A and B are shown apart, each in its own frame.
Chain A
Amino acid sequence: MYSRAYKSAVTIPPLLWVTFFLMAPYAILFCYSFWSVSPLQTIVHNWNLQNYAQLFRNPLYLTVLLRSIRIAGAVTLLALLLGYPLAYYLSFHAAKRKDLLYQLVIIPLWASYLVRGYAWKTILGSDGVLNGFLQYLHITHRPVEFFLYSPFAVILTLTHIYTPFTFLPIYASLEHVPRNLVEASHDLGASPFSTFLRVILPLSLPGILAGATFAFVLTLGDFLAPLLVGGPSGIMISNIVVSLFGAAYNWPLGAAISFCMLLLVVTLLFATERLEKRFTIS
């Protein structure tokens, strides 16, 4: 149907892009993870598994990884709890306000991540808006310290940032629930609540899965929020990678951690995609 020249013209550029900017860096990263750093701060190309061994031997890395997973889990849960009702309301009850509300959910996505991060810093800090407000109301008498520079601050910030990402696929899946199925359910004697549990929720599962995957994977790899509002107790695994590639100058160990993360995320994506397919009904 299409000429060979046309086919190559459209397929070769993305192929080159993926090869040079995705596969090649990953391959290099993979190689680095088997090398080591000499005492003279040079990278030695002696192939070994030391970096991977260290990952499991040094409790720091596992602790931070587990914390990252916990934070990602919390953000995912909160984003679902916020995103689902919002998406449900918009899809089923918003009527004329639908477009406006939809835009209101989307607009924050246009604001820079950094701006939103700093905004939370301003809100949560010792001299911040929240503490000022609480003291003004005489609920607290001195600034509450744990608002900022804590896992709590990281969870709050990331929930704010990633809820729209959870909202969007859920909203799309709810919009695809045929309305006559809802009517059929009422017709057969199921109350609105029962209809939600037995028809709407099962049919929106693919959206929930996609949204949860977004929130979890994006949070797991996040390093800016912990950097801005996390403090020492809010450090996440990506911050360790950043420092290993930076000040600590241990690229091989950084590469090993990165590669483990990559494996984790790809496995997760693969699993959720399989699940999504199972729940999607043609």
Chain B
Amino acid sequence: MSAASSSASDKRAPSEALLSIRKVEKQFAKRPVLRGISLEVASGEFLTILGESGSGKTTLLRLIAGFEQLDGGEIWMGGERLDEIPAYRRQVNTVFQSYAIFPHLSVFDNVAYGLRAKLVPRNEIPARVTQALAMVKMSEFERSAPSRLSGGQQQRVALARALVNRPRVLLLDEPLSALDANLRRQMQIELKSLQREVGITFIFVTHDQEEAMALSDRIALLRAGRLEQVAEPREIYGCPKTAYAAQFIGQTNLLRAEVREGTASTGAISWPSSGPPGPATFSLRPESIRLASSAQPAASSGATAHFQGQIKNQTFGGAMDLLEIDCGNSYVIRARVPSPGALTGQQKFEFNASDAVRVLESSDT
């Protein structure tokens, strides 16, 4: 995906970049895991590396941390070649997925570990540890043994242990995946406000697209070792570059259409499209589709597309219902509409033509 990666570097001027990942390659047992990753991360940014398991997202994080060696490319941080420095000299800290809290040390000693390792003056340590623990609301557990802490509490200690070192970049490897749903949502909010408070660059790895959208300034979508798209959450949701991005981030309808003379058509549905003629794929979010009110059909401007279909399935979802619409020949479109009450039979629908976003078909090559 050279198009995606170049657009990533276009987004921010190089002078602004704190971390610069350039054409990074990584193989395990000759199997490529990362293939030419280029990515710039700005100072103070919350960047999420999003991808399915096996997409290489954790490997990328481990390369930045220094736990793995590059097979190609370079990583720079603030004008310094990062990938040639051993992990223990990098101004980067990691929050591990499994927390990796030292079991033989108290909470205080865990948090003080990095300060002691870096020979921070002895008299500074207690104040900094206390402050870091206060930041994650764990002050009362200072003297506790880690084995007495719950998963969520260990998570907070891991966060304090990393942040107390004031790293230039904080790496978070699926830190919330082991927490239950409620705690997870709460930690998401805390994490985001913590990041704003400390102003440290966060690189957050997750496979959860909702989490990515909720937290990030930008999302880097990784797929099979390549960057699919790097963009702000709204942009990647509203204007996905590829069919994969459209499907991975949120739900969508992929419309495989033929564009001819300014009109795209799937057969069942047609709408105005200005793109180049020929076959094309469009992403149409379910919530972009509305029930066409039969009372005022004339309201349609040139930018509105209409279609009709049989209600195949209606799932009640409180405020919004999910409809499965059969547009004939088993061509099924999903729509999310404000709960209209029970619908049956043939119905008319409409959407703004601009909401059908032209995307690239998967380029697995």
Point out residues on A near B: beta carbons under 8 Å. Answer: 178, 180-181, 183-192, 194-195, 198-199, 202-203, 279, 281-282
Contact = CB atoms under 8 A, between A and B. Distances in A.
B117 A189 contact: yes
A190 B113 contact: yes
Contact of A186 (B87, B118, B162): B87
Given A186-B66, A187-B88, A190-B114, 19 more contacts: A178-B100, A180-B98, A183-B65, A183-B67, A184-B96, A186-B87, A187-B87, A188-B88, A188-B165, A189-B89, A189-B165, A190-B117, A191-B88, A192-B88, A194-B117, A199-B102, A199-B104, A281-B103, A281-B147
Interface in B240-285: none
A203 to B, nearest CB: 6
Contacts of B155: none
Nearest to B164: A188
B59 interface: no
Contacts of A194: 117
5 contacts: A181-B102, A184-B94, A187-B67, A188-B93, A195-B88
Given A180-B100, A198-B113, A186 B147 contact: no
Contact of B93 (A187, A191, A198, A282): A187
A195 B114 CA distance: 11
A203 B105 CA distance: 10
Interface string B149-163: 000000000000110
Interface of B: 65-67, 86-89, 92-94, 96, 98, 100, 102-104, 113-114, 117-118, 147, 161-162, 165
A102 to B, nearest CB: 23
A185 B92 CA distance: 12
A282 B89 CA distance: 31
B154 to A, nearest CB: 12
Nearest to A203: B104
10 tightest A-B CB contacts, nearest first: A188-B114, A190-B117, A184-B100, A281-B103, A180-B100, A186-B87, A189-B117, A186-B88, A189-B118, A187-B94
Identify the interface centre among A184, A188, A194, A195: most chain B CB within 10 Å of its CB: A188
Nearest to A199: B102
B161 A188 contact: yes
Contacts of A195: 88
A52 B303 CA distance: 108
B231 to A, nearest CB: 29
Nearest to B146: A281
A104 to B, nearest CB: 26
B91 to A, nearest CB: 9
B93 to A, nearest CB: 6
A282 B147 contact: yes
B65 to A, nearest CB: 6
B32 to A, nearest CB: 22
Identify the interface centre among B65, B93, B104, B161: most chain A CB within 10 Å of its CB: B104
A190 B87 CA distance: 9
Contacts of B161: 188
Nearest to A190: B117
Contacts of A183: 65, 67, 87, 94, 96, 100
A117 B96 CA distance: 51
Contact of B88 (A178, A190, A198, A282): A190
Contacts of B165: 188-189
Contact of A180 (B89, B93, B96, B113): B96
A213 B353 CA distance: 79
Nearest to A195: B88
A181 B65 CA distance: 14
Contacts of A184: 94, 96, 100, 102
Contact of A181 (B86, B100, B118): B100
A282 B88 CA distance: 27
A170 B101 CA distance: 22
A49 B37 CA distance: 83
B202 to A, nearest CB: 15
A183 B86 CA distance: 11
A187 B104 contact: no
